[in-house]
Amino acid sequence: MPDIVVALGEQALLEGFRLAGASVHAAETDDEVRQAWTALPGNAAVVILTLRAAGALGAVLADPHSPMTVVLPS
């Protein structure tokens, strides 16, 4: 399977990424963000995060085995 780009966070901020081919995982609460993160597909190479989603994940993002992440500017 080819590597994919995932967008994770508030749906209203991420809908445009679907048009660019990203797999959008809407998560409106901190708990939903953490659940979505643990359910990421194994071929997720890059994860685009909203600022709120990045805050919910905190130190998890420092794990060297995690996919590369990019946080959207506010």
pLDDT digits (tens, 9 = 90+) for 15-48: 899 999 999 999 999 999 999 999 999 999 999 9
Q: What is the pLDDT of residue 74?
A: 78
Cα angle, residue 46 at apex, residues 66 and 8 outer, rounded to 5°: 90
Q: What is the pLDDT of residue 2?
A: 80
What mean pLDDT do residues 44-64 have? 96
Q: Residues 22-59, buried b or exposed e (16+ Cβ, 10 A)? A: bbbbbbeeeebbbebbeebeeebeebbbbebbbebbee
What mean pLDDT do residues 54-64 have? 95
User: Long-range contacts: 20-23, Cβ < 8 Å, 24+?
Assistant: 22/48
pLDDT at 1 over 90: no
Q: What is the pLDDT of residue 49?
A: 98
Domains defined along the chain, listed by start: 4-71 (3.40.50.10580)
What sign results for the dihedral spanned by CA atoms 41, 46, 50, 53?
positive
The conformation of residue 59, written as its DSSP 8-state character, comes to: G
